[in-house]
Amino acid sequence: MNKLWVRMQHGMRDLDKREQEREELNILVGKNLSRLSQLEGLTIGLYKSDVLPRILSQIVTCKDRIAQQYLMVILIQAFSDEFHLRTLDQLLESIHKLQEDVDICSILMSLIERLANYCVSHMSSLPTDVDVFQMFLTNIDELGKSRKTVPLSAVLSLQNSLIILVCRCYKDKPSYIDDIYASCRLVIESRSTISPDDKQSIQQVTKLLQTPAEIAKSIKPLLGLKNFRSLMDALPNHHKRNIAQYLVSENQTCISNVEEVIVLLDYLAPITQRDSDVNDEEWHDYQQLVSYAISLMYNKDPELMVPILQKVKEHFLNQSATTVGHLYTLVPLTFKALSLVQAIFKKQNEDPNCEKRIKYVFKYANEVISLVKNTDIVAAYNLYLQCTLQAAQCGLAEFTTAFLNQSLTLFEDEKMTQSKQEYNGLRYMIGVVQRVSCLDNETFQSFAMRIAQLSSKLIVVELQSRATALSTYLFTNLPERKDPKLAMSCLKKAMSASSSVVEPDVLLHLYVDLFDHYVYFFANHPDVAVEAKHLNAIIVKINKLISINNIDKSHKGLLHYRNVMNLITEKQNWQTYIKKQQKKDSPQQEVIDESGLNEKEALAEASRWKEIQI
């Protein structure tokens, strides 16, 4: 039949008729082959020794491109994948002997795909006496070397189907992926390089690098490979960076040991050093990706986490290897360190080395922050305060003091002044220190007084007044170490500073805010000795300001004022203090305020408030 075919090729003149006859012959041959495959007596042994060799010899010897193409395809389709598995060596050998212009790639690709599917659907491993993978790889190598007319992208696409075979059928042999990468690298080199215009090849290499991660849904398989980097390096710069981006953003893999960290950092080299073709916006985005990469690095065992922290710090401080800005690396590292401290502290009862470990990590954090301060003083300042608070939570008075002192030193640095963030900074420090309970009274008080002093020295008077008012809360932070006198003195200072504010608009807001602070202490800390007379004096001041300056009714300060007055009115009503019913709305709703006083107490409290003249 084949001979008839070939003769037909040269005999017929009419193209259409020839095509039609070819089609019919095609079907005939196909039917015959498939009938052959269905023969009951056709065992694999018989197929291997008799049937296949004859078919193959026919195909090879006819030396006709179209016939060879069609027949190989039909052969592969007609016989079962199990048969192909057992005769792979013969098949591959013959495929090599096919004419130069036969599309070998598509034939090989269909074979590889079929076998991969077969393996997956039959859940069995490929026969161990036959190294299917090695056969295919050798074949593809041969192809790449001997058939120069085959485009690079076609060879690479073959490698892609092979990699899918490996990922699905040889899960326990990750070195096979490495072998594929090495082979790809070689074939690329044999064609000298990948041209930036060769989009197909670039796409194929990208796929090669990403497929193992995509199938495993994790980048871990890629981290154990020796040849990943060298294949990635074959890509043009822009595409190398895309791979690095993929590694970080397409997965939620947790990188949990130092070895993996080292490898990942190496793979991220395209985005940790700024290439010349990267603009500012892109560079920011790449640096941001590095921050994400760091956030993936985590191990809950402190013994394993500490080396990770050290390695990453080391890597990014090496200016010859990386140019990523410190803010993108050192800030996330600081928070990783603080989370680690918290995790270690949580297990303090089980861990005899708890304190030692925590101190080590705090020292690490301190080193890291000291490098941040050269780039961004406000960020470093905030980080020192975070450390202060964490150290306080761990009950480490010495470290709390040390970190707080670091913050204070930065606060008084000239760069802080230039940043115009002094009020915000001071306010943040007050918020932090207000929460600190591990210091002895003397140390705490000296810090509190220093902060109050710094507040009183702020240049903008309005801010001076506000910061001083907030400092008041430092002197009432713990019941056992209240200092009512100092608290009162802060309030008074805040009030007197406010008198230097000139703008009525600003002053109204300030007066009402201070008024509300006074009311807070009147309500919650009676020992601070805020009395009705103080409140009355403020009310007089506010009313005077309003009438003199003809403040508009809709002014927000007036709305606030009205709200405070309403509060006072309510507090003057003794019934406000009687125990309230719990609202029975939904089981999850938080309980409504239940400040319960008996009638006598309620009347006493209300009368205290009644002295305020609203």
Partner 1 sequence: MVLILVIGDLHIPHRANDIPSEFKKLLLPGKIEQVFITGNLCSKEAFDYFKTLSADVCVVSGEFDEPKKYPENKVVTVADYKIGICHGHQVIPWGDKEALAILQRQLDVDVLITGHTHEFRAYEHNGKFFLNPGSATGAYTPLHTDVVPSFVLMDVQKANIGFYVYHLREGEVKVTRMFWSKK
Residues 538 and 495: beta-carbon distance below 8 Å: yes
State the Cα–Cα distance between residues 216 and 484, nearest whole angstrom. Answer: 64
> Using CB under 8 A, which of 414, 590, 594, 600 touches partner 1?
590
Residues 466 and 456: beta-carbon distance below 8 Å: no
- Sign (positive or negative) of CA dihedral 199, 204, 209, 214: positive
> Using CB under 8 A, which of 524, 547, 550, 581 touches partner 1?
524
Tell me which residue has tokens 């098949």.
91
- Alpha carbon dihedral 607, 608, 610, 611, in 10-degree steps, equals 130
Annotate 137-193 with three-state secondary structure.
Answer: HHHHHHHHHHCCCCCHHHHHHHHHHHHHHHHHHCCCCCHHHHHHHHHHHHHHHHCCC
User: In terms of Cα–Cα distance, which of 474, 473, 456 is closest to 465?
Assistant: 456
Residues whose CB is less than 8 angstroms from the CB of residue 80 and which lie 6 or more positions away in sequence, other chains included: 37
- Sign (positive or negative) of CA dihedral 569, 571, 573, 578: positive
**Window contacting partner 1 (CB under 8 A); options: 45-53, 191-199, 308-316, 515-523:** 515-523
Mask for 212-251, x = binds partner 1 (CB under 8 A): ----------------------------------------
- On the CB side of 301, how many CA atoms lie within 13 Å of its CA? 7
Least distance CB 544 / partner 1 (angstroms) = 21
Alpha-carbon distances of 510 from 207, 423, 451, rounded to whole Å: 63, 15, 20
Secondary structure class of 409 (helix, strand, coil): helix
Least distance CB 604 / partner 1 (angstroms) = 20
> Residue count at the site for partner 1 (CB under 8 A)?
56
589 scored as a contact of partner 1 (CB under 8 A): yes
Least distance CB 535 / partner 1 (angstroms) = 15
State the Cα–Cα distance between residues 614 and 540, nearest whole angstrom. Answer: 10
424 scored as a contact of partner 1 (CB under 8 A): yes
Mask for 400-419, x = binds partner 1 (CB under 8 A): -------------------x
Residues whose CB is less than 8 angstroms from the CB of residue 354 and which lie 6 or more positions away in sequence, other chains included: 344, 345, 347, 348
State the Cα–Cα distance between residues 293 and 369, nearest whole angstrom. Answer: 20
398 scored as a contact of partner 1 (CB under 8 A): no
Residue placing its CB nearer to partner 1 in the complex, 84 or 357:
357
> Using CB under 8 A, which of 507, 512, 535, 546 touches partner 1?
512
Q: What is the DSSP string of 288-329?
A: HHHHHHHHTB--SSHHHHHHHHHHHHHHHH-TTT----HHHH
> Using CB under 8 A, which of 175, 203, 218, 288 touches partner 1?
288
Secondary structure class of 155 (helix, strand, coil): helix
Tell me which residue has tokens 């000239």.
414
Looking at residue 51, what DSSP letter applies? I
592 scored as a contact of partner 1 (CB under 8 A): yes
> Using CB under 8 A, which of 417, 446, 563, 569 touches partner 1?
563
> Using CB under 8 A, which of 35, 226, 556, 579 touches partner 1?
556
Least distance CB 286 / partner 1 (angstroms) = 13
Mask for 13-52, x = binds partner 1 (CB under 8 A): ----------------------------------------
Residue placing its CB nearer to partner 1 in the complex, 202 or 470:
470
Helix then strand then coil, % of the chain, to nearest 5: 75, 0, 25
353 scored as a contact of partner 1 (CB under 8 A): no
**Window contacting partner 1 (CB under 8 A); options: 82-90, 207-215, 330-338, 530-538:** 330-338
Q: Can you read off the two tokens belonging to residue 186?
A: 């070689």
The number of residues making up the chain comes to 614
Least distance CB 155 / partner 1 (angstroms) = 38
Residue placing its CB nearer to partner 1 in the complex, 229 or 608:
608
Residue type, 206: T
Mask for 256-285, x = binds partner 1 (CB under 8 A): ------------------------------
122 scored as a contact of partner 1 (CB under 8 A): no
Least distance CB 335 / partner 1 (angstroms) = 5
Beta bridge partners of 299: none
Residue placing its CB nearer to partner 1 in the complex, 5 or 423:
423
State the Cα–Cα distance between residues 434 and 577, nearest whole angstrom. Answer: 29
User: In terms of Cα–Cα distance, which of 493, 440, 503, 501 is closest to 468?
Assistant: 493
Least distance CB 365 / partner 1 (angstroms) = 12
**Window contacting partner 1 (CB under 8 A); options: 82-90, 155-163, 336-344, 451-459:** 336-344
> Using CB under 8 A, which of 513, 542, 577, 609 touches partner 1?
513
523 scored as a contact of partner 1 (CB under 8 A): yes
* Residues in contact with partner 1 by the rule CB under 8 A: 252, 288, 291-292, 294-296, 331-332, 335, 338-339, 342, 346, 378, 382, 386, 389-390, 392-393, 419, 421, 424, 427-428, 430-431, 434-435, 470, 473, 477, 512-513, 516-517, 520, 523-524, 556, 559-560, 563-564, 567, 570, 583, 585-586, 588-593
